[in-house]
């Protein structure tokens, strides 16, 4: 880890100079990097993320992306950390083997830690959409989530029919069932005139 930090500083300096940035701009990035490393060392992960995020928007090197992922990881934002580690690995595939190795190690650890949830439907599932934290997912398919509170909703034509609030923990799996018991009357049926019986003569 310490080797990766030292390599990050050297790479950042070379990258800024190679792109012709003025020394003031390069110095500013180096200062932010140093601040980020210092904040990581004392566990101030949110503040460190701000620093590395600022650097990544200007010079998204594999090393910087790795530190973005590390901060997200420590903050419990595991899905975002997964994406950042993958970005670091992909960017460094041919130029930063140390980053690739560390990113792969972190990805394996994340995969083991991330909670798994499978959402299923019980009842009338015709034209029902499953939303997990507002994102559409397929029923019966394992989803990887962050640890913490979540909400699963079954909806038809945008109308919620069932909902379950639940929590997840790292290294745990859960099965969530949404019970759709009543199928709402569709608009056509609602608007259809009611037939009235008439006496025959």
Domain CATH for 26? 1.25.40.10
pLDDT in tens, 104-117: 999 999 999 999 99
Structure-model confidence comparison of residues 143 and 59, the more confident one? 143
Q: How confident is the model at residue 2 (pLDDT cuts 50, 70, 90)?
A: very low
Check whether residue 109 and residue 163 sit in a common domain. no
Tracing tokens 């009611």 back to the chain, one arrives at 194
Check whether residue 102 and residue 39 sit in a common domain. yes
Looking at residue 63, its pLDDT comes to 93
Give domain status of residue 67, yes or no.
yes
Q: Which domain holds residue 144?
A: 116-183
Q: Taking the CA atoms of the chain, what radius of gyration do you get in angstroms?
A: 25
pLDDT in tens, 163-180: 999 999 999 999 999 999
Compute the mean pLDDT over every residue in the chain, rounded to the nearest whole number: 85
Cα angle 23, 29, 31; round to 5: 100
| Residue 133 scores a pLDDT above 90 | yes
Looking at residue 22, its pLDDT comes to 58
Q: How confident is the model at residue 1 (pLDDT cuts 50, 70, 90)?
A: low
Check whether residue 165 and residue 99 sit in a common domain. no
DSSP letter for 3, please. Answer: H
CATH value at residue 159: 2.60.40
pTM: 0.80
């Amino acid at each position: 880890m310490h080797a990766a930090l030292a390599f990050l500083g050297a790479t950042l300096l070379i990258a800024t100079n190679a792109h012709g940035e003025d020394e003031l701009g390069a110095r500013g990035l180096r200062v932010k990097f140093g601040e980020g490393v210092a904040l990581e060392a004392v566990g101030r992960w949110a503040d460190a993320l701000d620093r590395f995020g600022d650097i990544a928007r200007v010079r998204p090197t594999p090393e910087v992306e790795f530190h973005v992922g590390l901060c997200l990881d420590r903050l419990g934002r595991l899905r975002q950390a997964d994406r950042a580690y993958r970005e670091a690995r992909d960017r460094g595939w041919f130029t930063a083997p140390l980053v690739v190795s560390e990113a792969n190690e972190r990805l394996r650890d994340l995969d083991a830690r991330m909670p798994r949830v499978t959402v299923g439907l019980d009842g009338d599932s015709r034209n029902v959409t499953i939303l997990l934290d507002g994102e559409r997912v397929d029923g019966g398919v394992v989803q990887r989530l962050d640890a913490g509170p979540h909400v699963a909703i079954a909806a038809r034509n945008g109308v919620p029919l069932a909902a379950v609030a639940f929590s997840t923990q790292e290294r745990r799996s859960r099965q969530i069932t949404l019970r759709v018991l009543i199928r709402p009357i569709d608009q056509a049926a609602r608007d259809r005139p009611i037939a009235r019986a008439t006496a025959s003569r």
